[in-house]
Amino acid sequence: GGLPAAGKGGSTGEVPISDYQNAQFYGPVTIGGQEFNVIYDTGSSNVWVPSKKCGFLTCWFHKRYRQSDTYEEDGRIYKVMYGSGPVEGVFAKDTLSMGGIEVAGQLFAQVTSVSFGPLNLAFAMGKFDGLVGLGFKSISLYNIPTPFEAMVEKKLLAEPVFSFYLQDDASEQGELLLGGIDKSRYTGSLVDVPLISETYWAVSLDTMAFGNTSLVNASETAIVDSGTSLIAGPSEKVNDLAHQIGATSLMGRGWMVDCSKLDSLPTLRMVLGGQGFSLDPVDYVLQVSGQCLFAFTGIDVPPPRGPLWILGDVFMRKYYCAFDYGGKRMRMALASKAPSAKSA
């Protein structure tokens, strides 16, 4: 791709991103010389992988971290609640490498219990082992800097930015570029949307309208979150939206739409930090084994962090996203579609 030349002594690193059923995007990381597949998650800020003490049933298919020569004890407790249950472990330090760029002494959690269970199919199937947070250290346990923040701090990167290209087609490879922006991965120009806080990658959702119906008309917070597959928002608004398009509820676990009605559905338009973005039915309806799933889900985040809209992979597949840490902004443009064999 069109990778920028390394400037100012820093470099860029490319992490290949794989896609499991459009529901989970993950890539490799090396900790203490051992490779794991992790979700690179812009919606959280710690690093965890399974420990060798993680029980056989919980960590069934997974690589487990064993102490290496560069291991250092830390001992602080890691405990985080995910939607599907707690993840618990103990912090340690070791050399972490992503995209070929190394951070010595990175704090990470060795996890001994993961109660994702069958709720997270991708974890249960062994598609990913753990997680690397790419949010801000203000939301990490003990305010531990993320590996990306450590790379910026140590001036290892050409620029203090990372960028995501998420593929549409699971057989293609996506890309997380550390230290730069890959011009071959988007079309048109990048538009800049300022951050409104350095916690999550949070921007102002000024307005949101579905066809002629306004859903948001005074600024609310939206976060760009690679660790969420759908688009999430306050349940009351998402329920209204689902009813408007005639979606039917799947026993409270999501919404289906009639596949034959896709052409008649309106465009969803939103203004983020003064810039316009849109999702068409082909973007916000996922076709999963012959069914059409409405790619919105209700989530109620209490104040002060909430209410929150979460722009997950559904948004990030359409828009190439550069997370500009130095400029305190998101930079976005329409993602380039991989040329398909049919058009060749």
Query: E strand or H helix at 284, and its extent?
Result: helix 281-284
Query: E strand or H helix at 206, and its extent?
Result: strand 201-210
Signed CA dihedral, 13, 5, 152, 164: sign only: negative
CA 63 to chain centre: 22
Sequence-distant (≥ 6) Cβ neighbours of residue 102 within 8 angstroms: 95, 96, 156
> For residue 136, which of 150, 118, 125 has the smallest C-alpha distance?
150
| 94, 129, 225, 313: the active-site residue | 225
* Widest Cα–Cα separation across the chain: 61
Torsion of CA 115, 116, 118, 120, to 10 degrees: 180
CA 270 to chain centre: 20
Q: 41 an active-site residue?
A: yes
CA pair distance 76, 237, nearest whole angstrom: 40
Contact 144, 44 (CB under 8 A): no
Q: Which pairs with CB-CB distance under 8 Å and at least 24 residues apart come from 118-122?
A: 119/83, 119/84, 119/85, 120/84, 121/21, 121/23, 122/20, 122/21, 122/23, 122/24, 122/26
CA distances from 336 to 4, 10, 176, 195, 343 (A): 18, 27, 15, 24, 14
CA pair distance 68, 163, nearest whole angstrom: 30
> For residue 247, which of 209, 285, 207 has the smallest C-alpha distance?
285
Q: 225 an active-site residue?
A: yes
| 19, 41, 74, 206: the active-site residue | 41
Structure tokens at 312: 């997950």
CA pair distance 257, 235, nearest whole angstrom: 18
Which sequence positions are flagged as catalytic? 41, 225
